[in-house]
Amino acid sequence: MATLEQCTTALDRFVRKLAASEGARDLDRTVSCRLTDLGQVVQGRLALGQVHDMTALPDSPTVPKADIRLTMASDDLMALTSGELAFAPAWAAGRVKLEAGLRDMLRLRSLL
């Protein structure tokens, strides 16, 4: 199991890579990743090609829902961000869950 600090750093890199892509330059969305084995939610904002305010909060029903929500175990996040795990097969196998509005899903499809 990865530490919360490792996961926050990995998610920050992942979202920065996403923000740098051409298709995400005009996005202004909140992003979160629920780490099921750590009981934490790491959230931030993707705006104007940059990541802002990445913070970790204890997982609870009161955590505000982000526009783009990922759910996975900490080890899967580490494997995904290191390139050991591809997003599409991980999503198809149920290791990674992605929730977003239809418009965001269509845009993210080409980015992930």
d(CA 33, CA 41): 6
Give every CB contact of residue 62 below 8 A, 6+ residues apart in sequence.
none
Closest CA to 24 of 45, 54, 55, 53: 45
Q: Work out the pLDDT band at 69, boundaries 50, 70, 90.
A: very high
pLDDT exceeds 70 at position 89: yes
Across 6-20, 23-37, 65-79, the highest mean pLDDT is recorded for: 65-79
Dig out the tokens for 92 from the structure: 């198809």
DSSP conformational letter for 24? G
- Least Cα distance to 108 among 34, 46, 44, 43 occurs for 46
Instruction: Name all domains of the chain by residue range, CATH numbers in brackets.
Output: 4-102 (3.30.1050.10)
Q: Report the predicted TM-score, pTM, of the whole model to 2 decimal places.
A: 0.86
Of residues 105 and 93, more confidence is placed in 93
pLDDT band at 112 (very low <50, low <70, confident <90, very high): low
Positive or negative torsion for Cα 70, 6, 22, 109: negative
Give the mean pLDDT of 82-90.
89
